[in-house]
Amino acid sequence: MADHDRIEGSVKQAGGSIKEGVGKLTGDEKLKAEGRAEKVEGKVQNTVGGIKDTVREGDKRR
């Protein structure tokens, strides 16, 4: 089962992409920057979740 952080990170990435797109369409630089920041946050959280999954799988194999 996927780690909660991976799921939440993916949701943040998607939300950030939407914000960034809306910011581009409206010319709102602040919204665009917030979207980019959210995407990065989501990527980091997703990576942390992946590491947790890997560690968890390694523990099961022992």
User: Using one digit for the tens of pLDDT, what is the confidence trace for 2-53?
Assistant: 678 899 999 999 999 999 999 999 999 999 999 999 999 999 999 999 998 8
What is the C-alpha separation between 55 and 62, in angstroms, rounded? Answer: 11
- Max CA separation in the chain (angstroms): 54
Cα-trace Rg, the chain: 15
Amino acid letter, residue 35: G
| pLDDT band, residue 62 (cuts 50/70/90) | low
Please report, as a single letter, which amino acid is at residue 33: A
Residues, the chain, total? Answer: 62
pLDDT value, residue 1: 60
Neighbours of 46 (CB within 10 A): 21
Give me the pLDDT at residue 3, please.
79
